[in-house]
Structure 1
Amino acid sequence: YPAKNQQPCSTAGFSSRIRTESCFLCQCSGLRSAVPLAVVEEILLNLPAHQVVRVCRLVCREWKELVDSAAHWRERCRREGIQPQDPSRAPDGWCQFYFLTKKRRNLLKNPRAEDKLQGWKIVQNGGDRWVAEENRNPFPHSPVTKCFVTSYGLCLKQQLIDLKKEGYNEAFMDQLQPHIKISDWYAPRFDCGCQYEISVELLDRRKKPICTFQPEKVFFQQWNDEPWCEMTHVFKDYGPGVQFIRFTHGGVDTQYWAGWYGIRVTNSSVEICPAEER
């Protein structure tokens, strides 16, 4: 326990003290066996993962071997309830799997029209322009209640994701080649034909395309059941240099009706996920 009136150590001070004292422990052969490695590993498992990698791993050879072991990260995943989608298929690298799963999130802003068109760049705004409104047909996932709606002229909107700003630097992307999972939901009106389109590009530092997903346009006929459909794609083995992701989608009604009778889109997502994900 700290002495009375003693201020608690900062994280930086704590990390420095761990490194200094542990180096001394590892260098002194007489003390090396004083603390069993099993005890050291238990201590490491109770420290923040980023400190274990950035600080503890550099202390000595024994600690490096513990931190680099699959057993350490497998146990950390077990304790934190992080599991592969397919339990029968172990990840190729438990450390990579741990960090990618912990960092995983939707990189698109305002994907469900909750803040109207905020966060999106309007590329095409034809007809009566983009609007956000309540879903006409219940969405398969109950929390999603709003969508973006297109008009009788082509409507396209876009987001540019800067991977470095989101915590995925170039070395990380180049070396690990994590999967990039795309998902987008779209639906027509029952009484009007319409068209849906999407384009997702992986870009280099100059914003030049490295890899592109651009499927054929989807058409709906008039008098349909207003089905919600999901468009998905996973980028794999895309090579080095990816620093940006450009996500563009939208559509138009095909009967040229004034108002908002075109395709509806919502719940879009772009996620960096472990390669084990399918």
Structure 2
Amino acid sequence: MGKAYSSDQLVQRRTSPSSTSGWDSAELHIPLDILEEIFLNLPAHLVVCVCRLVCRQWKDVADSDSFWRERCRREGYHARESTKGPSNWRLFYFMCKKRRNLIKNPRGEEEFHGWRIIRNGGDGWRVEKPMAPHPNTDVQTNFVTSFSMCTKSQLIDLEKEGYSQAFMDEFQPHIRISDWYAPRCDCDYNISVKLLRVNKDVVQEFSPDTIRLPERENDRWKQMIHVFKDYGPGVRYVYFEHGGKDRVFWAGWYGIRLTETCVELCPALDT
């Protein structure tokens, strides 16, 4: 029986020039099912950046759709259309791994970094500590508006965030937006999110009517959620804008409070 090696030893020996001559013909041939199982237990970036460069056999396994399909299955990344899988399972896998919040500074921990102030009415925008605990205990700051309309925005360039034009047009991943808001007194809350083409034409838009929150709902955090889907090819940007004001016109910051804003691309089926 030949000598047994761990997956780390296999990678090290096969990628070390000084050790290549030490492999005999029996050791060079690893059954494909065993090799695939070893790769499935290695970090994905190591499979792509190291293992596939070792030899043709390793490259074939690392590049195979069956390998990445199995990796997706084991990690719970399921295609939305079960009858039609992705044309590129490796790309699908890594795009699922990239899922994250694309909004910069969503809680105001960095003051207004990343945001463009559009309207700064009354005494303007401010960042403060939450008056009431947020459902997410990590949230320790929020934005707050004043007695005249305050709005701010972010424009997300999807290609700069790593989502290529080819990926967006083929996969058309769901785009999920969410925003947490709470009143301090009688308040207005506004939100508008648009999917844009390269020339900034609107593909789809979510702009509900102004939400009016009475004082009796003071300190109650609510979440606005919307999911864009079936929007077709051509989406290159996401434009996010929100804000509001208080309706009693008190000096200071008694308007709507906003935090934990999120825009994320969701290629896989949520389970």
Given that 2:194 and 2:203 are in contact with CA atoms closer than 8 Å, whether structure 1 keeps it comes out as yes
* 2:204 is aligned with 1:214: no
- 1:132 is matched with which residue? 127
The 5 Å alignment of 1:14-163 reads 34-45=29-40, 49=44, 56=52, 64=60, 67-70=63-66, 72-75=68-71, 78=74, 82-84=75-77, 92-93=85-86, 95=90, 97-163=92-158
Given that 2:175 and 2:266 are in contact with CA atoms closer than 8 Å, whether structure 1 keeps it comes out as yes
- 2:3 is matched with which residue? none
* 2:187 is aligned with 1:194: yes
- 1:7 is matched with which residue? none
Given that 2:182 and 2:220 are in contact with CA atoms closer than 8 Å, whether structure 1 keeps it comes out as yes
- Are the structure 2 counterparts of residues 72 and 245 from structure 1 closer, same or farther at C-alpha, using a change threshold of 3 Å? closer
Q: Percent identity?
A: 47
User: Distance between the aligned counterparts of 1:230 and 1:176, measured in 2?
Assistant: 27
Gaps spanning 5+ residues in structure 1: where? 1-13, 22-29
Given that 1:135 and 1:145 are in contact with CA atoms closer than 8 Å, whether structure 2 keeps it comes out as yes
- Are the structure 2 counterparts of residues 75 and 223 from structure 1 closer, same or farther at C-alpha, using a change threshold of 3 Å? closer
User: Distance between the aligned counterparts of 1:274 and 1:48, measured in 2?
Assistant: 21
Given that 2:36 and 2:61 are in contact with CA atoms closer than 8 Å, whether structure 1 keeps it comes out as no
- TM-score (normalizing by structure 2): 0.78
1:83-133 deviation digits (Å, cap 9, x = unpaired): 259xxx899456455323310111111101111111110011101000000
Q: Which moved more, 1:208-217 or 1:46-55?
A: 46-55
- TM-score (normalizing by structure 1): 0.76
Given that 1:177 and 1:237 are in contact with CA atoms closer than 8 Å, whether structure 2 keeps it comes out as yes
Given that 1:52 and 1:67 are in contact with CA atoms closer than 8 Å, whether structure 2 keeps it comes out as no
Given that 2:118 and 2:150 are in contact with CA atoms closer than 8 Å, whether structure 1 keeps it comes out as yes
- How many residue pairs get aligned? The number is 245
User: Distance between the aligned counterparts of 2:216 and 2:254, measured in 1?
Assistant: 12
Corresponding residue SS for 1:212: strand
Corresponding residue SS for 1:132: strand
Corresponding residue SS for 2:93: helix
- 1:254 is matched with which residue? 247
State the 4+ residue runs in structure 1 displaced beyond 6 angstroms.
Answer: 59-62
1:169-228 deviation digits (Å, cap 9, x = unpaired): 111111111111101000001xx2001011111111122211111112111113334210
User: Distance between the aligned counterparts of 2:202 and 2:76, measured in 1?
Assistant: 33
Corresponding residue SS for 2:216: coil
Corresponding residue SS for 2:162: coil
Given that 2:188 and 2:210 are in contact with CA atoms closer than 8 Å, whether structure 1 keeps it comes out as yes
1:112-156 deviation digits (Å, cap 9, x = unpaired): 111111111001110100000000011011010110000111000
- 1:267 is matched with which residue? 260
- Are the structure 2 counterparts of residues 153 and 77 from structure 1 closer, same or farther at C-alpha, using a change threshold of 3 Å? same
